[in-house]
Amino acid sequence: MIKPHGSDSLNALFIASDTDRNQALIDALNLPTLRINSAAAANLVMLGAGYFNPLKGFMNLSDAMGVCESLYTSDGLFWPVPVINLVNQKPSFEPGSRIALLDPNVNGHPVLAIMDVTAIERVSDEQLRVMSGEIFGTNDSSHPGVATFNTLGNYLISGEVQVLSLSYFQADFPDTFRTAAQIRSEIEQRGWQKVVAFQTRNPMHRAHEELCHMAMERLGADGLVVHMLLGKLKQGDIPASVRDDCIRVMVDRYFPENSVMVTGYGFDMLYAGPREAILHAIFRQNMGATHLIVGRDHAGVGDYYGAFEAQEIFSQRVPEGALDIEIFSADHTAFSKKLGRVVMMNEVDGHTADDFVLLSGTKVREMLSNGIAPPEEFSRPEVAKVLMDYYQIEGT
């Protein structure tokens, strides 16, 4: 099986032993506490679940700036996006303290992790601007990722962590949320050697479905892992529970039995385009996938990124040998009226835009809200029904 990123074995920071975890929770009662923001909480879940292997905790300012400017930490680890814990006010505890980090997303704010604080550093507005510009490729506050980043604060708290909870994801998505180790284990049990991962924050329509079929066929893959984001999205995006239902009904009807694992991970969407595509590749390697599908405008939003920047960054900024996972680059896929099937648009000749079934997200949402199913060339009827039911409830 493919090795995790940066190490020979997976370094998941969640305390798996019930006895050890319960003792750590008791110990946490006597520690200073810090209620962190959702972005830091999502980082902790990813650290705990092994997706951020081989990191041991939150980065300090030097590593964070190094990652932003050169894609490397000070000790030479290739990494695309800083994994940091920013707060708005300087805390009362000092470096060297052991503290309990509280979950902002669960009622009662239970302990999410214990942290050994190495440093507390003030990040200047200029340094934050540099970070934002490098991560998102823009400092435009209209970009949802930039808008969130700008609220996180100027004080960076770094240090190693022990994760005691995976937040709300296990309770809310018991059939879907999986750690990197759990997915690795299932891949091994199934005997899959070549494994394609498909990242999604949206319901899967015909184009997504056929893209997965194409990737599996062309790569000779043993299986597909549909890996959906279960954390926070921007306003207007489809909730994770609805996306989960859409994907499962599609997989059950239109993929061979036992060829697909439907799973999810606990992270908040960054909308960081090319940088986030590299991050996606790292945690798919950590979960055991050998290939990641990177399509048009992967992890993008609005018009902030070129259509294929998320593919180009792998050849332009990822050094040879930095990652073991391979990228399956894909063009926009759509149903061809001429050919009667879904195609990659750059692979067919003699077509104009009118020869494809292309619907904007706005148009699709409008149709669903009005109880109108998109054409079957665009969306499977079973998927459309799940979405129409959601929009009808949402509109009441």
- Choose, from 178, 201, 248, 380, the residue flagged as catalytic: 201
* 173 backbone dihedrals φ, ψ, rounded to 5°: -135, 60
Which phi and psi (to 5°) does residue 312 adopt? -65, -30
Check 11, 139, 154, 202 and give the catalytic one: 202
C-alpha 81: how far from its chain's center? 12
List the beta strands (DSSP E) in 266-348: 291-294, 326-329, 333-336, 341-344
- Determine whether 202 is an active site residue: yes
* Closest to 243 (Cα-Cα) out of 227, 255, 223: 227
Rg (CA), the chain: 21
Catalytic site includes residue 341: no
CB contact at 8 A, 359 and 374: yes
Q: Which long-range contacts (CB under 8 A, 24 or more apart) does 303-310 make?
A: 304/136, 304/137, 304/138, 304/140, 304/143, 304/271, 304/273, 305/137, 305/273, 305/274, 307/332, 309/273, 309/274, 310/273, 310/274, 310/276, 310/277
Q: Could you give the residue numbers annotated as active site?
A: 201-202
